[in-house]
Structure 1
Amino acid sequence: MCSVTTVPSIDPVPELVTRTVEIPDPGALLSLLPDDAPLAWVRRGEGLVGWGEAARFSATGADRFSAAERWWNRLSKTAVVRDEVDLPGTGPVAFGSFTFDDAGTSTLILPETVVGHRDGRWWVTTVSVTGNLPPWPMLPRVSPPRRPGLVTFADGALSGPEWELVVAQAVERINAGELEKVVLARDLVAESPGTIDPRWPLNRLSDRYQRCWTFSVDGILGATPELLVRRERGLVTSRVLAGTIRRTHDDIHDLALAASLARSSKDLEEHEFAVRSVADALAPFCSSMNVPETPFVLHLSNVMHLATDLAGVASGNVSSLTLAEALHPSAAVGGTPTDKAREVIREIEPLDRGRYAAPVGWIDANGDGEWGIALRCAQSDPAGGSRMRLFAGCGIVAGSDPGAELAESTAKLVPMRDALTR
């Protein structure tokens, strides 16, 4: 059993001591994970994985981000840090996942052990909260991931036709001038006869969606194509996705579809809303910014997205978590105007999003970190590990067709469905 310290927002804090050392290549990051509450943030074989809990912070409500950051600052800034590698992601690192709305529980977790890989360098960080230097790192022997038994799927809060009616309601409200865009989510329930080993879908997602960020934090896992924000030694970057078309796996046809997506007034309008919301949210925290005028088409194995990469220079010591809070929810996952879109979501979307479409990622003691949007994901049922809820969402604008949006949401559910069954 791992010792867990939940730290309140008042004194005292644990006497945190961390040791980071460089190690030889230990193999694929995800192959190092145990099956019990794995922590992961991996893309193209690089990133971070962790296990064990040295400390955990939980928060609810509108100030959940700032409360979590205050806890992390007090914990990490008073730590004794021995770091022989000195890269973003070395030293003490917390993995986090936050709820989409104010309800529910958001968490930051400080693992007992973190292994990282970047640019051909590997390291391991071990953590002690007793004030003593942690033991010399030893990587555990782990069993291979277990394939789930027969997984069955059922409608979540709504059936497909019922969800189409909700989309139609949203279009009516947009056409009435209440708002410009709203993002609606739907869920699917997956069940297995036995406990689902989270490492099985994690490995499948990482193999099949190498351009995405594969993540696992506190029961939510997936492979997101959307990087909400990265802060690395003063440089701020963000990838915005909005506007989607399903691939046919016929290369010639897919090129034609990509061209049509790039010309689609409906998708370009949706994308412009999303880019504008991110640029406006980042502007107060950046001394300069570069916002491309036109998007590019991002090709994933099952869909294509309109995408824009924004970059800026951070002003002051603003942290990656502060930036994530400022950006959430962007128009890509909420809508425009933000407050009105959230109001409409609460009124017509009959499901609890939990941590779907909210920030997930990591932060180090310097405030550097990467936060994605929890998309193409599933949340384990707290009552047992044999049931998961899968999520997908679509941006609804004036020209949206309910049937087409249902088909798009179905395509977005494919990665997690396949990860559990193939």
Structure 2
Amino acid sequence: MSTAPAGAPAPTPLLARTVPIADPGDLLDLLPRPDAAATVSWVRRGDGLVGWGVAARVDTHGATRMVDADAWWRETAGTMVVRDDVRLPGTGPVAFGSFAFSRRSDSGGTLLVPQVLVGRREGRSWLTAVGPAGLGPTPSLAACRGEVTPVTGPGEVSFTDGALTSEEWQQAVAEVVATIRGGEVEKVVMARDVVARTGADLDVRHLLRNLADQYPTCWTFSVDSLVGATPELLVRRDQGLVACRVLAGTIQRTGDDAADLRRAAELARSSKDLGEHELAVASVAEALGPYCSSFNVPDSPFVLHLPNVMHLASDVTGVLDRSHSGGPSSLALAAALHPTAAVGGTPTARAVELLAEAERMDRGRYAAPVGWMGADGDGEWGIALRSGQVTGPRSVRLFAGCGIVAASEPAAEARESEAKLTPMRSALTS
């Protein structure tokens, strides 16, 4: 965690000033510069939050990376001077975060407060500016944007294998299937990576625009150079209510509406996929139990239709138990839930050990919590799926994962992984 040197003067308190503004139009079109490290986004169906610049930041590592970041945010937000004329979720001071999947990963975790934040919710729009207290009134949106550079495309894009070739990954899946059939675990979620290289310097706005246009029902995110469009909400905390969207069980779309309806019906009846989904839902319910006074688990999933795939999905909801100091923050809930069976396996601890061996790579922040949190602890955290980590001016590491169970066929899982790589491939090449 970031700390001030011994004997250093106390930092100047930050002022977070939120004012209502006229509808600014498309939120993603407001982003003024291409820098992936200083651009944040959490947008779905045109609503959400975008921001730029860094007013405060903490980097954490190890098993307590989310707990430490949560503690830093409570302290930082508690010292801020807040003037909020809107008072909606996402107004006032907001921190965005992303964290490594594994406690052993060098990727650690980051929580950052943007200098400028623009949001829209329920037909209302606002601007939040964060800076040293005493700088005067909040400037206009135009002044906050400053010099705006045109969005540029990435040029010619090439893709190469990551840690494993497709054939090597299928062999690794076959070995995991044999372990599952031996009774050691029930499910292991296997990920693979692909490296994209661009002909021109990457403009994160190009990626975000394409992802939002192609996957409007997903949460289009950008935090600390991690970019993607996730269909899976790990947890939302909103005024005492808790919600999670669980996805497990996938089938690829054909592009033919009639055929896709038949495939959706097959997915809803698939014993393999229903079993995989049941394990994922049970892991979420078990993790939420200690933090909720009550919660609801649907009896059966619905089929979520996305442009490239269809998933079995369940929305688990609960009421936060506030008997202990107001209850845990949204990030604390995300830490308690991660990793779910949907991204790790069942039993999760052993499955995560197996996938770390079988994948032969560090996932970094793929399939881990990504999202935002307000000063009151409310916020939304997704699972960083359908995503890529910008690793250089002209390189992005793309990820996709598949739930492996006893009935899995390696070639079919490879095809599924290709379907799940489509969003990021398409966002780069469109």
TM-score, normalised to structure 1, is 0.96
Indicate whether 1:35 and 2:41 are aligned: no
Cα distance in 2 for partners of 1:405, 1:332 equals 15
After superposition, the C-alpha distances for 1:60-98 in whole angstroms (9 at most, x for unaligned) are 000001100110000001211100000111000001000
Q: Which residue of 2 aligns with 1:113?
A: 116
| SS of residue paired to 1:206 | helix
1:348 CA drift (Å): 1.5
Following superposition, the deviation at residue 6 of structure 1 comes to 5.2
1:138 deviates by: 3.1
1:292-303 equivalences under 5 Å are 292-303=298-309
8 Å Cα contact 1:168-1:402 kept in structure 2: yes
CA distance in 2, matches of 1:30, 1:38: 10
Tell me the alpha carbon deviations over residues 88-129 of structure 1, each in whole angstroms, 9 at most, x when there is no partner: 110000010000001222100111110000011000001113
Matches within 5 A, 1:300-379: 300-316=306-322, 317=326, 318-379=328-389
Q: 1:135 offset after TM fit, Å?
A: 3.7
Identity across matched positions, percent: 59
Offset at residue 25 of structure 1 (A):
1.1
Equivalent residues of 1:17, 1:134 under 8 A apart: no
SS across alignment from 1:312: strand
Match of 2:263 in 1: 257
Q: Does 1:83 align with 2:96?
A: no
Distance of 1:343 and 1:35 partners within structure 2? 37
Distance 2:410 2:150 in 1: 42
- 1:142: Cα distance to partner? 2.1
Match of 1:159 among 162, 165, 189: 165
Q: Deviations over 1:12-67 (max 9, x none)?
A: 45512110000001121000112123110000000000100011100000000110
User: 1:188-218 CA deviation, whole Å, 9 max, x = no partner?
Assistant: 1100122111110110000110110000000
The partner residue of 2:14 within 3, 16, 39 is: 16
Change (3 A) 1:258 1:178: same
Cα distance in 1 between the residues matched to 2:136 and 2:400: 44
Quote the residue 2:406 is aligned against. Answer: 398
Q: How many residue pairs get matched? A: 416
Residue 61 of structure 1 corresponds to which residue in structure 2?
62
Check the 8 A contact 1:54/1:112 in 2, yes or no: yes
Shift of 1:8: 5.2
* CA-CA distance at 1:351 after TM superposition: 1.2
> Which residue number in structure 2 is paired with residue 227 of structure 1?
233
Measured at CA, do residues 255 and 396 of structure 1 come closer, stay the same or move farther in structure 2, by a change above 3 Å?
Answer: same
How many Å separate the matches in 2 of 1:67 and 1:419?
34
- Who is 1:389 aligned against? 397
What secondary structure, in the 3-state scheme, does the structure 2 residue paired with 1:304 have? strand
Letter in 1 for 2:423: P
Q: State the secondary structure of the residue aligned to 1:69.
A: helix
- CA-based RMSD: 1.6
Q: Deviations over 1:118-149 (max 9, x none)?
A: 01100000111355556434332523321111
Unaligned runs of 5+ in 2: none
Query: What secondary structure is seen at the aligned counterpart in 2 of 1:126?
Result: strand
Change in 2 beyond 3 A, CA 1:302/1:9 = farther
Amino acid at match of 2:68: A
Q: How far 1:266 sits from its partner (Å)? A: 0.4
Would the aligned equivalents of 2:180 and 2:187 in 1 still touch at CA under 8 Å? Answer: yes
| Structure 1 residues 366 and 163: CA distance shift in structure 2, 3 A | same
> Following TM superposition, by how much is the alpha carbon of 1:295 offset from its aligned partner in structure 2, in angstroms?
0.1
Which deviates further from its counterpart, 130-139 or 264-273? Answer: 130-139
SS of structure 2 residue aligned to 1:262: helix
User: Which residue of the partner structure matches residue 129 of structure 1?
Assistant: 132
What is the aligned counterpart of 2:200 among 189, 194, 204?
Answer: 194
Contact 1:287–1:315, Cα closer than 8 Å, also in 2: yes
Preserved contact between residue 7 and residue 55 of structure 1 (Cα < 8 Å) = no
- Partners of 1:122 and 1:8 lie apart in 2 by 36
Deviation at 1:172, TM superposition (A): 0.7
The reply on whether 1:236 has 2:242 as its aligned counterpart is yes
Do the aligned partners of 1:126 and 1:134 also contact (CA within 8 Å) in 2? no
Greater Cα offset, 315-324 or 363-372: 315-324
Give secondary structure in 2 for the equivalent of 1:88. Answer: coil
Is the CA contact (8 Å cut-off) linking 2:154 and 2:200 kept in structure 1?
Answer: yes
Aligned with 2:159: secondary structure?
strand
| 1:213 matched to 2:219 | yes
2:284 corresponds to 1:281 = no
Q: Is the 8 A contact 2:163 2:193 kept in 1?
A: yes
Cα distance in 2, alignment partners of residues 269 and 9 from structure 1:
52
Unaligned runs of 5+ in 1: none
Structure 1: distance between partners of 2:140 and 2:30 = 13
What does residue 24 of structure 2 align with?
Answer: 26
3-state SS of 2:141 partner: coil
Paired with 1:133 and 1:339, the residues of 2 have a C-alpha distance of 51
Amino acid at match of 1:117: R
Partner SS state of residue 61, structure 1: coil
Structure-1 separation of matches of 2:121 and 2:381:
17
